Structure 1
Amino acid sequence: MNTLRHNDVSAAKLRDALVDTLLANSMITSPEVERAFRTVPRHLFVADGTPLEVTYNIDNSVAIKRGPDGVIISSTSAAYIQARMIEQAGLTAGMSVLEIGSGGFNAALLAEIVGPDGRVVSVDIDPDVTDRAREVLEQTGYGNRVDVVLADAENPLPGLHEPFDAILVTVGAWDLAPAWLTHLVEGGTIVVPLRMNGVTRVIGFRREDDHLVSTSSEVAGFVSMQGDGARDERVFLLPDRNGYHVKLRFEGDVPAGLDQLDGVLATERTEAWSGVTIKHGVSFADLHLWLAVFLPGFCKLAVDEGTDLAAERKGWFPFGAVHGDSFAYLAVRPLPEGGGSEFGARAYGAHGDDAATALVEQIQAWDRHGRDREPTFTYWPTGSDRPEFGKDTAVLVKTHGVATISWPRAASAAR
């Protein structure tokens, strides 16, 4: 708990300003969620010493716990995504809700919305996190309104016999555990940050018979799930001439023959440009998702300081693909007179031209058939009566089922 209680008047002003911004940006759309955000003192739930300006900034998450390597493994999420996820869940007074991933603040918001006749259970695998959540909830007056449970939510939770109206998953999940659906009523909603080949969308799913259909989606990132539901990336290191590395990160299947990339960064770099442009300040997050599901050999990139790519960081994005003995990555170049940027690809390898062309073709396909069109998501658990998926539907095979993504009038002809 943050023992720097600050000036109550200052905290209240910043909290109201945050809520006003969330309302203005349509991140809060219901009076129930507005009231909860104006009521619960976020600054009493974050880590000691966190400044008020950080606590009540719309985009700031605040670390709760870090691993031995310094990586955040639990946090209080940014206010905007907490608001959006609660709105996605469609909570009202009297509902029961299960939160997977504890922290305290989000559970208190849920308790305010469902009220005294509702039910909130918050579960986490880490005893440090659950102990802290119980402490801050007790100290802020929510101790008797939230049940905090220490367990791995990948498995059925003992003692929870009545299903929940809604489930909010507040950690990045590679798959949906069968136990979650066991705990969800027919017609209920589960909101989950689902990782799809390394790209995350916070999806609101409604349960319909034997499968789940999306009702909403948001762009956000989350710390990864721990325990039985964890899914690690595989990382392949490409050394450059100075001994630094470009890291290719694969969440799905790793392409065969990665040894062909040995020494690839010593080859001449090539590039290709798509003719697809975008104005400054406009989101193109769905391009990342399109590439993740339609571009063969897709991977995410990370680079050491000292590499050529690090020196050019403003001209590329950390998404690319392996293409045989070559690899390409998403790049941009400025348009004249500040008119925005053009998407393209830069590539290394003996067949870098082919790798860059393959990426550019998918940029163009997204522009024709996916741009400014909201994708829909479906999840089919193992054993469900799945239909035949059309060639315009991206199919991602998971451990416990299949996730599909469709864009209206998706681009079969372009692929």
Structure 2
Amino acid sequence: MSEDRKDDAADTRRAAELRGRLVDELVAAGHITSAEVETAFRTVPRHMFAPEASLEEAYAQDIVVVKRNEHGTPISTVSAPEIQAFMLEQAAIGSDMRVLEIGSGGFNAALISELVGPTGQVTTVDIDPDVTDRAARFLQAAGYSRVNVVLADAEAGVPEFAPYDRILVTVGAWDIPPAWREQLAPGGRIVVPLRIRGLTRSLALDRDGDHLVAQSAMICGFVKMQGDGAHHERLLLLRGEEIALRFDDGFPENPHLLDGVLRTERIEVWTGVTAGRGESFATLQLWLATTLAGFCLLAASGDEADGILVAPGNRWFNLAMVDGDSFAYLALRPVGPDGMSEFGVHAFGPHAKQIAETMADQIRTWDRDQRHGPGPQFAVWPIDTSDDLLNASPDGKPENVLITDKRHSRITISWPAAG
């Protein structure tokens, strides 16, 4: 046997070993919960879709960057295995189904192909010819030549192979275009990482009359949609390019009011609300996005941010709000042993005290009324739906409802009544 063939055999054995270890980890962590998804992950050779990575990198719990733009920002990746796993679980793909994947790469389409079986149909679409060429080559080499690989802007879906029992979006979307709903078969489901006020959740959306209702929501992150579905955040620079506020929507009408705001005294308010090490507070993000006018995200880099935005030794988070000439953001400080920390608010500006108290009150309200509850309900409505219908509560009880208008649709985040 030649040395090359020996090396190939050793790599095949090593890949199988690493793949098995990865799947064991995904099952143990609860990212894979069904036998069907587990079998697909144990079957598809992930490394064949990431040849630029080592075997160890291909089977790590991380993304593999496929392509970057001129600024070095990733614009195409092989997603992290845990994200692919829980989105496939959200999709609940069965045999014989017709599935559209928006955002290609090859590996996820191969997994879907295993799930639908030989009598199902898989179509994967991407706007970038480099990505589709690569996906087609790798799918062919890995034995999944039946997958339809389409070069197109997915804003219009892929009508050629519609209708679809499942539409699985693997790029960050800001909106749900009409074509996706129109090409969804009766009883179908859209799984999409939807960005709302800068926060992204993977939603499993089922049709309910004239709108879509989420059956589950998972925190995630993806490269952003390109083409007609692209939506760009706006930045409000506070100090050069090192400290800025990011607005997905609702950019201030008079941003100049914050000129020089970082030269004012920083006000701190602590809430008495604590969290343990590793404890998730994803619903706090959504609660603040729902209840705070002027909600945005704080972005900071560089050494000059230290000591300005946070006191030495304190860690800060990027949830923020603006009110006229002042802004505030979420902070965290250690309190006692075992990694326990307390939520607080830092604020700058002439009305720093008031805005800090406003945010602190909502943190306490979340802790009292929503922290241990079921979380919010997401829904996607036609763009011409009236506010009265969007604010209606199914059980007649009052709710906190965030209504966000997109280009094609209106998104609601509805919270259950306290208690």
SS of equivalent residue, structure 1 residue 353: helix
CA distance in 1, matches of 2:280, 2:11: 37
Secondary structure at the counterpart of residue 155 of structure 2: coil
State how 1:226-241 maps to structure 2 within 5 Å: 226-239=226-239
Runs of 4+ with deviation above 4 angstroms: 310-314, 383-386
Whether 1:278 aligns to 2:275 is yes
Percent of pairs identical after alignment?
Answer: 51
The separation in 2 between residues aligned to 1:188 and 1:408, in whole angstroms, is: 26
The residue type equivalent to 1:292 in the other structure is: A
**Corresponding residue number in structure 1 for 2:112:** 110
Q: What TM-score, normalized to structure 1?
A: 0.92
Which one is further off, 226-235 or 398-407? 398-407
Q: How does 1:165-314 map to 2 (within 5 A)?
A: 165-239=165-239, 245-309=242-306, 312=310
CA shift, 1:287, in A, is: 1.0
Task: Read off the aligned partner of 2:364 and give its amino acid letter.
Answer: Q
Match of 1:400 among 400, 403, 408: 408
Q: Which residue number corresponds to residue 23 of structure 2? A: 19
**What is the Cα deviation at residue 384 of structure 1?**
5.8
SS state of the match for residue 331, structure 1? strand
1:164 equivalent in alignment to 2:164: yes
One-letter code aligned to 1:53: E
Amino acid aligned to 1:301: L
Aligned twin of 2:396: none
- Residue 339 of structure 1 and its aligned partner are, at CA, apart by 4.9
1:116 is displaced (CA, Å) by: 0.6
- Root-mean-square deviation (CA, aligned residues, Å) is 1.9
Displacement of 1:9: 1.4
Partner of 1:56: 59
Aligned to 2:152: 151
2:175/2:408 contact within 8 Å kept: yes
CA distance in 1, matches of 2:207, 2:295: 30
Q: Which residue of 1 aligns with 2:136?
A: 134
Separation in 2, partners of 1:389, 1:51: 51
Distance 1:101 1:244, change over 3 A: closer
Q: CA deviation at 1:206?
A: 0.9
Decide whether aligned partners of structure 1 residues 273 and 225 sit closer, same or farther in structure 2, where only a CA change above 3 A counts: same
Q: Given residue 375 of structure 1, which amino acid in structure 2 is its aligned partner?
A: P
Secondary structure (helix, strand or coil) at the match of 1:32 reads: helix
Distance 1:279 1:409 in 2: 26
Q: How many residues were matched structurally?
A: 401
The CA deviation string for residues 223-277 of structure 1, in whole angstroms up to 9 with x for no partner, is: 11001111100001112xxx66311110111122211111111111111011111
Measure the CA separation in 1 of the matches of 2:154 and 2:390: 31
CA shift in 2, pair 1:28/1:182, >3 Å? same
> 309-318 or 33-42, which moves further after superposition?
309-318
| Partner SS, residue 23 of structure 2 | helix
Report the Cα distance in structure 1 between the residues aligned to 2:70 and 2:417, rounded to whole angstroms.
47
Deviation string 1:169-223 (CA, Å, 9 cap, x unpaired) is: 0011111010101110122110000101000000101112211111111111001
> Quick one: structure 1 residues 219 and 310, their matched pair in 2 at CA, closer, same or farther if it must change by over 3 Å?
farther
Going from structure 1 to structure 2, the CA distance change for 1:142 and 1:294 (only over 3 Å counts) comes to same
Say which SS state the counterpart of residue 213 (structure 2) adopts.
strand
Give the match's secondary structure for 1:33: helix
Deviations 1:93-112 (A, max 9, x none): 11110000000000000001
Unpaired segments of 5 or more residues in structure 2? 1-6, 393-398
Deviates more, 1:215-224 or 1:395-404: 395-404
Note the residue ranges of structure 1 that are not aligned, 5 or more in a row: none
1:10 shift after superposition: 1.4
Letter in 2 for 1:286: T
CA contact (8 A) 1:369 1:407 kept: no
CA contact (8 A) 2:291 2:400 kept: no
| Distance in 1 (alpha carbons) for counterparts of 2:307 and 2:163 | 49
**1:93 equivalent in structure 2:** 95
Q: Distance in 2 between matches of 1:193 and 1:115?
A: 25
Q: What's the secondary structure of 1:338's corresponding residue?
A: coil
Q: Which of 24, 35, 38 is matched with 1:34 structurally?
A: 38
Contact 2:345 2:356 in 1 (8 A): yes
2:314/2:333 contact within 8 Å kept:
no
Structure 2 length-normalised TM: 0.91
Residues 383 and 238 of structure 1: CA distance in aligned 2, closer, same or farther (over 3 Å): closer
Contact 1:244 1:307 in 2 (8 A): no
Q: Say yes or no: does 1:350 pair with 2:347.
A: no
Secondary structure of the corresponding residue to residue 336 of structure 1: coil
Higher mean C-alpha deviation, range 372-381 or range 318-327: 372-381
Q: 1:165–1:157: structure 2 CA closer, same or farther, 3 Å change rule? A: same
Alpha carbons of 1:283 and 1:43: their partners in 2 closer, same or farther (altered >3 Å)?
same
Shift in Å, 1:372: 2.6
State whether residues 159 and 183 of structure 2, in contact with CA within 8 Å, keep that contact through their aligned partners in structure 1: no
Q: Shift in Å at residue 371 of structure 1?
A: 0.9
Residue 383 of structure 1, CA deviation: 4.8
